[in-house]
Amino acid sequence: MLRTHTCGELRIDNVGEEVVLTGWVQRLRDKGGMLWIDLRDRYGITQLTFEDGVTPAYLFEAARGLGREYVIRVVGKVIERYSKNDKIPTGDIEIHASKIEVLNAAKLPPFMIEDETDGGDDLRMKYRYLDLRRTPVRRNLELRHQMMRAVRAYLDEHYFIEVETPVLIKSTPEGARDFVVPSRMNPGEFYALPQSPQTFKQLLMVSGFDKYYQIVKCFRDEDLRADRQPEFTQIDCELSFVTQEDILNTFEGLIRHLFLKVKGVHIANLPRMTYADAMKYYGSDKPDTRFDMRFVELNPLVKNKGFKVFDDAELVVGINAKGAASYTRKQLDELTDFVKRPQIGATGLVYARVQEDGTVKSSVDKFYTPEDLQAWAKAFNAEPGDLILVLAGGRDKTRKALNELRLEMGERLGLRDKNVFSPLWVVDFPLLEWDEDSNRYHAMHHPFTSPKPEDLELIDDRPGDIRANAYDMVINGVEVGGGSIRIHDRRLQEQMFRLLGFSNDEAKAQFGFLMDAFEYGAPPHGGIAFGFDRLCSLFGGSDSIRDYIAFPKNNSGRDVMIDAPSPIANAQLDELHIKMKNLPA
């Protein structure tokens, strides 16, 4: 080894030892007669010291000639530091250097490689290999590593077997858009990159592997945002001979294990919430339950009072922002502008303040008596100092808008603490959702999700009312995992394909191999997949999964570091039998 110790290892007990360190020059401080260098590696920082008159002149000048990010090897003696630094683990000691060897010089980096850098996102993405030297970024990847180890340890203890599934598979029409890969050996035909290993893990159940898992790359050609990347990682799991309850208990255990091992946080048993209640009380199938502020529906209290907005609305619903009655007119106008943004889509906002004397003052006072407004306050359990915020309109659109307002108020009132974790299960999702554009049903999860057995009688007359044997895990308003009990009977699977608008030929072409497998003794089975990148960002207190991926893409799906995607040579296109059309400039 070129070193005897790392830059994060030495302590006061090492004083007097002759050591050899290697690393990068983080910072150089030259005070004329004294020179200090902070030497950094993956493990930490150690201070090197050079003193005029004590350090040989040639060595002093050599140290003075070093630049930021030079890679060096230093020989020296560990001494006790006169001015200690309690902010770093090595802050009690420093190295009195006797030899320096430059292993590699470095250009001046394009941004400061410090915890607080001056580099913007685009610049740091272009030089990601330099950004990865920064302590916060490295710690994100160390957290990811810890979580991956803890996942494998838990699943191994529960007799799961890790099986790799193919990356070059068949394109399927359901779900997100596929990334496709042309086949040179089969001209005119294409592979797809897997959106998930769904059909393969079901085939593994048919094969008798009753507990499978894989920490696996998945690919979806979607528009990007903070919590999406074109390639992402799932903890993908499947089990045979289980009920929904078995799966919930097993993977609730996994999440509790992760919180305990990685964060040192004890999580109690996860509550269950039906999809219907999540939409009714939170306007979202991934409710943030770190704070209350549940929806209260007001239709019986506000209709037929002469206020046309409420009278004409399908739903009038509101929240109680506790302690916010002191909001100024300017703040209330900001909230109104917030809900009227096109992506939220409300037409306006009604408010009511509960005054210190218990009276209620509202923006629609002229339509409602003091007794009416007291009934509002009672419905919300509102107390003096509380602010009631009300929206009205179509049911689904209004709930969606109020969910956004609820989250905004939670943020403004400091109720969305990233160090507080509130996980839950959301269950009993609809099996199908109607799509107006294609004029047919789509699977809310995927075509292999089993209906609730007690709802099967609805399949011919009221398919939209069938509940799925499906479940999502939600933490702090983020869906971190989801799955279902699968269909394992060929006849029911064929019936599901018909409901989704597949002809027999289409179903056979896309999924014939799975349907055939079901005829060879498919066991009852089900599973779940967790978004591993999302879990990492949640544990790390970040809003973006990009911070926990070593080499992420930007919001246009580009890797600006290696400049991908990029054109390929005409000779390669000819080999693949691909002819390029004129592309827009």
> Higher model confidence: residue 275 or residue 445?
275
Nearest partner of 421 among 470, 480, 462, judged by Cα:
480
- Binding site feature residues: 174, 220-222, 229, 445, 479, 486, 531-534
Per-residue pLDDT at 172 exceeds 90: no
Per-residue pLDDT at 453 exceeds 90: no
pLDDT tens for residues 207-221? 999 999 999 999 999
Domains annotated on the chain, with CATH: 12-104 (2.40.50.140), 138-272+423-571 (3.30.930.10), 291-413 (3.30.1360.30)
Per-residue pLDDT at 303 exceeds 90: yes
Give pLDDT, residue 49. Answer: 96
The CA–CA distances, whole Å, from 408 to 319, 413, 415, 452 equal: 12, 9, 10, 35
- CB of 260 within 8 A of CB of 254? no
The average confidence (pLDDT) of the chain is 93
- CB of 443 within 8 A of CB of 435? no
Compute the average pLDDT of residues 363-367.
93
The CA–CA distances, whole Å, from 150 to 29, 143, 251, 403, 530 equal: 41, 11, 13, 34, 14
584 confidence band (pLDDT: 50, 70, 90): low
491 confidence band (pLDDT: 50, 70, 90): confident
Structure tokens at 153: 């340890």
585 confidence band (pLDDT: 50, 70, 90): low
Helix (H) or strand (E) run with residue 100 in it:
strand 93-104
- CB of 199 within 8 A of CB of 488? no
Examine residue 287 and say whether the peptide bond preceding it is cis (omega within 30 degrees of 0): no
- CB of 437 within 8 A of CB of 284? no
What single-letter DSSP state applies at residue 55? B
- Binding site feature residues for ATP: 220-222, 229, 479, 531-534
- Binding site feature residues for L-aspartate: 174, 220, 445, 486
In degrees and rounded to multiples of 5, residue 345 shows phi and psi of: 90, 10
